[in-house]
Amino acid sequence: MSGEFKRPPKTHAQLCDMPFVPEISSLSEKDILVLRLDLTDRSSHEAATNSVLKHFGKIDVLINNGGRSQRSLFVDTNLDVYSAIVELNYLGTISLTKHVLNHMIQRKKGKIVTVSSVMGIMGAPLATGYCASKHALQGFFNSLRTELTDYPEISIINLCPGPVQSNIIQNVFTENLSKSLESTGDQSHKMPTNRCVRLTLVSVANDLKEAWISDQPYLAVCYLWQYAPTWAWWLMNRMGKKRIQNFKSGVDADVSYSRKKK
């Protein structure tokens, strides 16, 4: 299923455009099913799940990767933006998970992979709503894992990527629902997409309960939040101030303290 936010679906060719890989070269048209899915339309999730089951007969893996980030200060942001963030990033995700999990419980096996964020571990300016939604996902799926101890072959995997080269900044929430970000800035300093994908696949293949997928300094900050939160608060105050300055200057919020690529 292609989880989107009221956008038209792409063609099979666009979604599956990739280099030749021997393991998938034998796939036929019947091995591919693309469904349009609006995560905010929770009433459609059961039908979408049933369509997948009708086509394939089973669901082995659910990857929750739908959502939008945020670039706005809390004092400038309308509350309906926060409602939309929670509806899309959190409630839409757990709604779809509920329908798929019912099937996995019947089979007593499966993987539920949720793309959270390092923002689900730490706090940062310009993303108060986004951080809240990712913290909610972390809490939900860590708790859900404890409810599934009778099903050891159902894996709950939380992935926490840091800044990655993608189109996520082009589609962020801002201070109101009708406004787009004026400038996305240079994204080249962020982790290459192919490296993030590789680390994601390694994490899923090894059933890691949680994986932090990030370049420095975000990775170090994750460890500080985990083991030395007082130092993390001090550091994020310094980094956060620069992040806001970058944002107001029209450059990418994270550019000044990301590790430079050689």
Contact 235, 228 (CB under 8 A): no
Query: For residues 106 and 102, what is the distance between their CA atoms, to the nearest angstrom?
Result: 7
Annotation says 130 is catalytic: yes
Query: For residues 193 and 184, what is the distance between their CA atoms, to the nearest angstrom?
Result: 17
217 preceded by a cis bond (ω within 30 of 0):
yes
Contact 110, 63 (CB under 8 A): no
Contact 211, 159 (CB under 8 A): yes
DSSP letters spanning 102-164: HHHHHHT-EEEEEE--GGGTS--TT-HHHHHHHHHHHHHHHHHHHHTTT-TTEEEEEEEE-SB
Active-site position among 82, 90, 130, 218:
130
Contact 135, 120 (CB under 8 A): yes
Residues whose CB falls within 8 Å of the CB of residue 143, separated by 6 or more in sequence, listed in order: none
Active site members: 130
